[in-house]
Amino acid sequence: MKFLVIDVGTSDCRAAVVSNNGEILSQSRCPVSLDQPRPTFAEVDCDEIWALVQKVILAEVEKHAGTTFDCIGVSAMLGYVFLDRRGNPLMPAITYADNRAAAEAETIRRLIPEEKFLAVTGRRASPMLLAPKLKWLARHRPDTVQKLKNVVGIKDDMVRRMCGNIGTDFAHLDYSGIYNIHQGQSDSGILETLGLDPNLFAAPAAANAIAGTVTTEAADKLNLTPGTPVINGSSDGTTAMYGAGILDEGNAVLVSGTTDVLMTGSNSPPANPGRELCTNSGMLPGTYLVGGPSGLSGGSLKYFEKLLQTSASRLERRIRQISPGSDGLLVFPGLTGERSPYWKAYWRGSLIGLNPRHRSEHILRAVMEGCALRNAKLLNILSDNGLHPRALNIVGGGSASDVWNQIRADACGLVVQKMTTAEATCMGTALFCQSALDQSQPLEAIAGNWIKVAKRYDPEPDQTKAYQRVAALFDRYVDINSEFYRRMNKVMN
């Protein structure tokens, strides 16, 4: 069997062909650009995304001429598409990185006590969620809301264009702010309080459920066989968790791309007294994924590489020689706001302690350290909630750097394991395809056969102690300066 999988990421749109033993046989990709018509906006045009999906699919079909794919799967960045009664997008999709609904998120916090909202939805009210975005639309674009029939994910829109059916999965509703993760359905109390129509949201299905089959019209455009099964799929971050070993008990997974997403599995929701953690529905009944999405990580590193006109790979030897703390330099990488574990959407990037001795390698290492310290804080919060991962599996573009992986291991005091493929989202989507077609094997058994470790990074105790001292300064700076950044964000926007 061969599976055709598509991943619409923040940076790239790719298609890959994966065998039924988890080998990525080939892949094609092209760049994705987020539109930012205003500083807090982050949108994508759905027709343009569909054009990119067609392009990469046709490239893979050409490579495997004569092949009939057994199943097709799609994942995509977290974002929401607003469909009219004919099933057409009314406007660009609003992505997870969009912070326009900060005021609406604050209104939700006033209407619904944070403890209650967190207990029901598994997360804080924040601008990244769908609910405040819908409230923003009601306030600023009421004509769009009047025409609105369904809200689905970007992934769901691609599936709709392939097989004609409108649906969604658990992960997209997990990040809606209206979904009860314990009951597996939209929460009537939250919908009523926020004045949202429950009919806007499709009933969710598992990522490995069959959503439909390729229509004749789509098959003609994509050179595919009509009737090929298309799975429901999920968001790219959630999918990558399963493609990187989250089902191996005791492991946490770090998906390191434009942003970081770090989670571990649990059989029960955490107590979460500090309200820093997100709790998502698990693919297996009675399970949860616990952790959270960060602000920019790889996106910040790319920004500084462009600014400095160099690259971390070019300076890797010099970066490796610098001690923890980058000779007194701290970089706070959340250039577009901080999510987990700080949850400060108004925060902006900071470079603290710069002096004439610092060179490009110091700045790039400090970016890596800032991201790693954020990971370490989240792991400490997981530990405080009774979740103690024994290793951190890392995938995504950010896993390629050996020096960064060692910094992560030292900062977290935990073994870091780079997986055999960084393309965990493609791997996870193929896992869902295999699971959909072969009901005789549980998903965890397929994952155990497919997913392997390529390289291990052991923490160095002296370095870990040094990073604990740096982490204390890092957290202290956040505590002291939060109100300043809140006010600056209001003034500048």
In a domain, 237, yes or no: no
Determine contact, residues 332/304, Cβ cutoff 8 Å: no
Residues 213, 303, single domain; the answer is no
Tell me which residue range forms the domain holding 385. 247-492
Quote the pLDDT of residue 493: 66
Residues 266, 227, single domain; the answer is no
Residues 185, 261, single domain; the answer is no
Quote the pLDDT of residue 58: 98
The answer for residues whose C-beta is within 8 angstroms of residue 23's C-beta and 6 or more apart is none
Listed residues 204, 232, 260: the one ending a domain: 232
Return d(Cα 295, Cα 275) in angstroms, integer: 17
Q: Is 220 exposed, middle or buried (0-12, 13-18, 19+ CB in 10 A)?
A: exposed
Q: What is the DSSP letter of 198?
A: G
Closest CA to 20 of 449, 454, 423: 449
Return d(Cα 63, Cα 256) in angstroms, integer: 29
Listed residues 201, 232, 263: the one ending a domain: 232
Residues 290, 209, single domain; the answer is no
pLDDT average per 10 residues of sequence, the chain (493 residues): 95 95 95 91 97 98 95 97 96 94 95 95 93 97 97 97 95 94 93 96 94 98 97 94 93 93 95 93 91 94 98 98 97 92 90 96 98 98 96 95 98 97 92 94 92 97 98 95 89 74
CATH number of the domain encompassing residue 318: 3.30.420.40
352 bridge partner residues: 330
In a domain, 239, yes or no: no
Return d(Cα 180, Cα 19) in angstroms, integer: 36
First to last CA, the chain: 52
Quote the pLDDT of residue 402: 97
Residue 476 falls in which region: left (phi positive, over 0), alpha (psi -120 to 50) or beta: alpha
173-176 long-range contacts, Cβ below 8 Å, gap at least 24?
Answer: 173/201, 173/204, 174/121, 174/122, 174/123, 174/280, 174/281, 175/78, 175/96, 175/123, 175/128, 175/129, 175/130, 175/235, 176/121, 176/129, 176/130, 176/131, 176/201
Return d(Cα 100, Cα 137) in angstroms, integer: 10
Residues 15, 127, single domain; the answer is yes
In a domain, 288, yes or no: yes
Residues 304, 169, single domain; the answer is no
Q: What is the number of structural domains in the chain? A: 2
∠ CA(406), CA(409), CA(411), 5° rounding? 105
Residues 130, 256, single domain; the answer is no
* Residue that the structure tokens 């999920």 belong to: 234
Going through 182-296 in order, the beta strands assigned E by DSSP cover: 185-186, 204-205, 210-213, 229-231, 234-235, 251-256, 259-266, 278-281, 288-296
| Count of residues making up the chain | 493
Return d(Cα 159, Cα 81) in angstroms, integer: 12
Quote the pLDDT of residue 440: 86
Q: What is the DSSP letter of 87?
A: S
Residues 163, 297, single domain; the answer is no
178-202 per-residue burial string, b: 16 or more CB within 10 A, e: under 16:
bbbbeeeebbeebbeebebeeebbb
